[in-house]
Amino acid sequence: MAMISADNRGLRLATRYAVLVLIALIFVFPLVFMVMSSLKPSQQLLEDSANLRAFLPVGDISFDNYTDAFRRAPVATFVFNSVLVTGVTVLLSLLICSAAGFAFVFVDWKGRNLLLAVLLATLILPFETIAIPMLLMVAHLPWIGMEGLTWGWLNSYRVQIIPFIADGLTVFLFVQYFKDLPGELIEAARVEGASWGQIYRRIVMPLSGPILATAAILKFLVMYNQYLWPLMVTQEEGYRPVMVGLQYFFQLNVAWGEVMAYLSLITVPVLAFYLYLQKAFIASIASTGVKG
Amino acid sequence: MTFMKMAASAAVLAWASAAQAQETLSMWYHGAGNEVELKLINEVISDFNASQSDWKVELQSFPQAAYNDSVVAGALAGNLPDILDVDGPNMPNWAWAGYMQPLPIDESKIASFLPGTKGIWDGKLYSIGLWDAAVALVTRQSTLDELGLRKPTVEQPWTRDEFMAALDAAKAAGKWEYPLDLGMAWTGEWYPYAFSPFLQSFGGDIVDRSTYKTAEGALNGDAALAFGEWWQGLFQNGYAQATQDPADRDGGFAAGKYAFSWNGNWAALGALAAFEDTVFLPPPDFGAGPKIGGASWQFGVSATSKHPEGAAAFIEFALQDKYLAAFSNGIGLIPATPTASEMVDNYKSGGPLAVFGEYSSKMALVRPVTPGYVVQAKVFEKALADIANGADVAATLDAAADEINADIEKNGGYGH
């Protein structure tokens, strides 16, 4: 009986792993296809796309598509711009949205429920509905910089960063997470005379690793994939991000190998960032039920 | 030595003051990502900047797929450049919307330009192109011989019956996957550019050009219905595929999958490389004369430019035959003038692509010259795709005409 039971367990385990491997393959296949295709000439890429060769490094393999991609577009500039804009926005967003969430949950002030409701209501507004009003606004905003007072934010990094620092979803994530933190900790700190700033810095934030990772990854993905807004506000090539740069490759006859090479290159920062925060992200999903 | 130093200083100062005197003109162009095209336009700019001391053009290039959206956003933000380029059929919309101003150049200088290169709306010239594009029915002489078909000419193009007989013969031969490649893998502007000439050759149109205030009768009249039935028949009777793999569009003709391919001059050299006996036939005449689409990218001056005379000076400078020829050699399009064509091996008399110039000058019909075209093009595209996929012809064309009429009405007739 014991042997049969062990066999059953083994069989169940094998089945489970087989299913998991299959699911993993389904998710990994597009990435493998992208990388493998980036190494093939366009004609071969299209021919292979109908069979399993698409996922294998076979045929006329080279890095020519990467060389050609760099020749066609300033890839390094686009990646740098995206990483800069995304990185700064994510950092500022974590700071501002967590502070807002903290104020909504722990600080008792008049009108906070109403304001939170208004903030959450902004989640139902698609960005496209506010894009043009935002464009009209940022085109005429003042700025004080190295050149003194100037008007209009177009063709700058700030125009890609500042409008996206605070958003309803990120604040909501922090609010939900903070609500589950033990209230006794905060009360005890208040009794001991800690200021709100101290509680935020020394108690709440150190306990917020998972939600910081979740918020960071979600924000990162949104910002890294920005297309419409940078297209509207960056007429100068030097400020364009990776997704606008992708359009450089869609000429009349699309060089698919170069497209795949470019996509492989711009996927690297996303994968690196995700892998870096992976553990905390999964812990956060497990603890809050938030689906990324 | 002192004299030499003084002379050198004076020269530097003179150069610096000349450079300072040059007023900067900003320019937007749709060629980002196209190395050859960018090199050519930069050469024109560089030559212009060096040729005079009043103006200095500075270029910002945009990827073509994002260009129109960028211009619209720039216009909304009040941030348009002095010089911009515009796809011919979009020009009336940009002029009507206040993005562009009439182009103040001497029109005698463009008298010999192909008709499709002149962006005229409301009686005024707004834009001018250095090239045009043309479409032809691509096949092989050996295919014509094998199927026993007459080679059509500009003077005597195939009639509808002859064209359908050619497709029938190709189908019966069983040698090709489909007799005809229409390029259904290409969406967007390809539909009105490549397929509305068929409708116009039937006697219909996307909109009534006599008033530009309605599509009624033009898009859903008897001629349009006949066109729609014919169009649907191409797919239902197995002459062409309604949905096409992009790879087949790019390489299907060269791979021998199609007997005939409806394609542009930009793909002609590839076809010739695949088969030495490739021939570029004129479009069939479906009753109202053989037609192809006209108008490609053109240069114009933005409405907000403070220096329209400078912008026009640059555009006039760019219209020299040597640049028209250089663009044609670089990107394969048809030079705007006969004299420039003679400077290009492909397009000079007897050249392998010379017929495209002839088709462009004799058969090209620009797409409807109205600000509403940008909407009408999308409505037309959807209607043709639906019909190709089996939708009821009369109902689909009626609905398309209604949609176009509603848009015209909503926009107060677009100034017509």
Number of domains into which chain A is organized: 2
pLDDT above 90 coverage of chain A, percent: 78
Specify whether A87 is located in the same domain as A16: no
Any CB–CB contact under 8 A between B78 and chain A? yes
Specify whether B200 is located in the same domain as B316: no
Specify whether A116 is located in the same domain as A47: no
Number of domains into which chain B is organized: 2
* Average pLDDT score over residue span A16-20: 95
What per-residue confidence (pLDDT) applies to B152? 98
Specify whether A240 is located in the same domain as A197: yes
Which of B343, B311, B339, B314 has the alpha carbon at shortest distance from B326?
B343
Is the predicted pLDDT of residue B315 greater than 70, yes or no? yes
Specify whether A77 is located in the same domain as A151: yes
Specify whether A223 is located in the same domain as A213: yes
Specify whether B255 is located in the same domain as B403: yes
Helices (H), chain A: 2-37, 42-48, 64-72, 75-105, 112-121, 127-138, 158-161, 168-179, 183-191, 196-198, 209-224, 228-233, 242-246, 256-288
For the segment B340-399, what is each residue's pLDDT rounded down to a tens digit? Answer: 999 999 999 999 999 999 999 999 999 999 999 999 999 999 999 999 999 999 999 999
Boundary residue ending a domain (A30, A50, A72):
A72
Specify whether B255 is located in the same domain as B399: yes
What per-residue confidence (pLDDT) applies to A1? 46
The answer to the question of residue B5 being in a domain is: no
Tokens representing B176 are: 């090709």
Specify whether A100 is located in the same domain as A42: no
Which of B374, B414, B382, B373 has the alpha carbon at shortest distance from B400?
B382
Specify whether A55 is located in the same domain as A144: no
* Token pair 């050859």 in the structure block, residue: B36
Specify whether B395 is located in the same domain as B276: yes
Distance CA(B369)–CA(A10), nearest Å, equals 73
Specify whether B213 is located in the same domain as B282: yes
A252 pLDDT tier (thresholds 50, 70, 90):
confident
The answer to the question of residue B10 being in a domain is: no
B1 pLDDT tier (thresholds 50, 70, 90):
very low
B247 pLDDT tier (thresholds 50, 70, 90):
confident
- List the domain range (segments joined by +) for residue A61: 1-72
Any CB–CB contact under 8 A between B190 and chain A? no
Specify whether A68 is located in the same domain as A78: no
**How distant, in Å, are the alpha carbons of B1, B71, B141 from that of B149?**
83, 48, 9
Total CB pairs under 8 A between chain A and B:
71
Q: Is residue B210 classed as helix, strand or coil in its secondary structure?
A: coil
Is the predicted pLDDT of residue A53 greater than 50, yes or no? yes
Boundary residue ending a domain (A49, A72, A95):
A72
Nearest CA in chain A to B65: A247
Specify whether B153 is located in the same domain as B222: yes
For the segment B124-168, what is each residue's pLDDT rounded down to a tens digit? Answer: 999 999 999 999 999 999 999 999 999 999 999 999 999 999 999
ipTM of the complex: 0.83
* A211, A177 Cβ separation under 8 angstroms: yes
Per the prediction, chain A carries an average pLDDT of 91
Mutation pick from A72, A251, A259 vs chain B, by most beta carbons of B within 10 Å, is A251
A289 pLDDT tier (thresholds 50, 70, 90):
very low
**CB-CB: which of A73, A135, A237 is closest to B76?**
A135
Is the predicted pLDDT of residue A36 greater than 90, yes or no? yes
Contact A250 B64 (CB under 8 A): yes
Is the predicted pLDDT of residue A188 greater than 90, yes or no? yes
Distance CA(B248)–CA(B174), nearest Å, equals 18
Specify whether B212 is located in the same domain as B346: no
For the segment A199-247, what is each residue's pLDDT rounded down to a tens digit? Answer: 999 999 999 998 999 999 999 999 999 999 999 999 999 999 999 999 9
What per-residue confidence (pLDDT) applies to B209? 96
Mutation pick from B60, B244, B263 vs chain A, by most beta carbons of A within 10 Å, is B60
Any CB–CB contact under 8 A between B65 and chain A? yes
Provide the CATH number for the domain around residue B224. Answer: 3.40.190.10
* Average pLDDT score over residue span B72-84: 95
For the segment A196-207, what is each residue's pLDDT rounded down to a tens digit? Answer: 999 999 999 999
Specify whether B362 is located in the same domain as B222: no
**How distant, in Å, are the alpha carbons of A93, B8, B29, B406 from that of B304?**
37, 41, 17, 31
For the segment B195-235, what is each residue's pLDDT rounded down to a tens digit? Answer: 999 999 999 999 999 999 999 999 999 999 999 999 999 99
Specify whether A113 is located in the same domain as A193: yes
Is the predicted pLDDT of residue A68 greater than 60, yes or no? yes
Contact A46 B74 (CB under 8 A): no
Is the predicted pLDDT of residue A292 greater than 50, yes or no? no
Q: Is residue B32 classed as helix, strand or coil in its secondary structure?
A: strand
* Token pair 């495209």 in the structure block, residue: B356
Specify whether A104 is located in the same domain as A247: yes
What per-residue confidence (pLDDT) applies to B10? 53
Distance CA(B31)–CA(A233), nearest Å, equals 19
Q: How, if at all, do strands B135-140 and B334-335 pair?
A: unpaired
Boundary residue ending a domain (A72, A100, A122):
A72
The answer to the question of residue B78 being in a domain is: yes
Provide the CATH number for the domain around residue A82. Answer: 1.10.3720.10
* Token pair 């700190």 in the structure block, residue: A189
What per-residue confidence (pLDDT) applies to A275? 86
Specify whether B265 is located in the same domain as B307: no
Mutation pick from A48, A75, A248 vs chain B, by most beta carbons of B within 10 Å, is A248
Q: How far is B6 from chain A (nearest CA, A)?
A: 34
Give B33's contacts in chain A (Cβ within 8 Å).
Answer: 72-73, 247-251
Any CB–CB contact under 8 A between B244 and chain A? no
pLDDT above 70 coverage of chain A, percent: 95
What per-residue confidence (pLDDT) applies to B21? 72
Distance CA(B118)–CA(B298), nearest Å, equals 8
Specify whether B221 is located in the same domain as B127: no
Per the prediction, chain B carries an average pLDDT of 94
Specify whether B152 is located in the same domain as B114: no
**How distant, in Å, are the alpha carbons of B64, B74, B152, B260, B397 from that of B228?**
31, 39, 24, 21, 8
Give B66's contacts in chain A (Cβ within 8 Å).
Answer: 231, 244, 247
Specify whether B129 is located in the same domain as B142: no
Top pLDDT among B9 and A171 is at A171
* Average pLDDT score over residue span B9-37: 75
For the segment B165-191, what is each residue's pLDDT rounded down to a tens digit? Answer: 999 999 999 999 999 999 999 989 999
Specify whether A45 is located in the same domain as A153: no
Contact B66 A232 (CB under 8 A): no
Specify whether A47 is located in the same domain as A180: no
Give B79's contacts in chain A (Cβ within 8 Å).
Answer: 139, 152, 154, 235
A4 pLDDT tier (thresholds 50, 70, 90):
low
- List the domain range (segments joined by +) for residue B220: 135-292+372-415
Mutation pick from A44, A140, A233, A252 vs chain B, by most beta carbons of B within 10 Å, is A252
Distance CA(A118)–CA(A126), nearest Å, equals 15
